Amino acid sequence: MNIKKKTLELLSLEGRVAVITGGASGIGLGTAIRLAEVGASVALLDIDKSSGKKAAKEIRRLGGDVEFFSCDVTSYSECEAAARAVYEEFGRIDILFNNAGVIRRKNTLELSEEEWDLVLSIDLKAIYLLSHHVIPYMIENGGGSIINTGSGWGLKGGPNAVAYCAAMGGTVNLTRAMAIDHGKQSIRVNCVCPGDTDTPLLSDEAAQLGEDEEEFIRKASDRPLERVGVPEDIANAVLYFASDMSSWVTGAILVVDGGGLA
């Protein structure tokens, strides 16, 4: 076999179906486009119906096979219904990218109970909910790949972000526990930990802190590679975990942050 062809086959996702939460924008949308480029059929899950439909339309314009499914990832019943709908539409689920997330930039004294619950529900509980409903379909296929979005603040603390840091720390160890539990079913579970990435979430952080967005991004660029990330940076890492390139990798935590934690 041609050596170049062999490598490309390892990266190919032809015939596989990927579910992406928070798929209407940012890292989710960037990853959806990347996975579609290498042949995956993509199911976008998001609570924002308007943006989700717009994102699906854009991916179709680029030649991708995609469907949008409205889903509140904090709801057991909606996650169950979404997983079932994806399976009925595509006939299988091979990849789950648990990517939906929010942040509240507050310390323990400032943070309300409602804000704590919101962050933990979207950033951590949703991983359990989607995985709970998707894993049976993966088992039916003979295996699969789950990728969770964590953060550098899942590996170290950060200022004025107690709920987010708690959720990200939980995501990192949840990933490891799931990898142990489901390896016997040929399901690999890994975690990508982005640094500051140019997405609506980063703009929202600046607004929450009352900072000028351009100045906020300039300060966030103070890292060895001297820039913030873009969604494609994270998408490339997700593709690695989703593809056969990482066939013997599970329980891994991959930091993609331009050297911010170095």
Q: How confident is the model at residue 245 (pLDDT cuts 50, 70, 90)?
A: very high
HEC string for 163-194: HHHHHHHHHHHHHHHHHHHHHHHCEEEEEEEE
pLDDT tens, residue by residue, 4-40:
888 899 999 999 999 999 999 999 999 999 999 999 9
What phi and psi, each to the nearest 5 degrees, are found at residue 189? -130, 120
pLDDT (0 to 100) of residue 48: 97
pLDDT at 3 over 90: no
pLDDT (0 to 100) of residue 37: 98
Provide the annotated active-site residues.
164
pLDDT tens, residue by residue, 251-262:
999 999 999 999
What phi and psi, each to the nearest 5 degrees, are found at residue 15? 85, 0
Q: How far apart are CA 7 and CA 49, in angstroms?
A: 37
Q: How far apart are CA 107 and CA 86, in angstroms?
A: 38
Q: How confident is the model at residue 153 (pLDDT cuts 50, 70, 90)?
A: very high
Structural domains in the chain, CATH included, are 15-196+230-255 (3.40.50.720)
C-alpha gyration radius of the chain: 18
- The DSSP 8-state label assigned to residue 141 in this structure reads H
pLDDT (0 to 100) of residue 240: 98
CA distances from 26 to 23, 99, 184, 245 (A): 8, 10, 33, 24
Coil, helix or strand at residue 59: helix
Q: How confident is the model at residue 1 (pLDDT cuts 50, 70, 90)?
A: low
Rounded to the nearest angstrom, the gap between the alpha carbon of residue 210 and the centroid of all alpha carbons in its chain is 27
pLDDT tens, residue by residue, 46-84:
999 999 999 999 999 999 999 999 999 999 999 999 999
* Stretch 102-125: mean pLDDT: 98
Burial call 73-83: b when 16+ CB within 10 Å, e when fewer:
bbeeebbbebb
Is this structure's pTM higher than 0.85?
yes
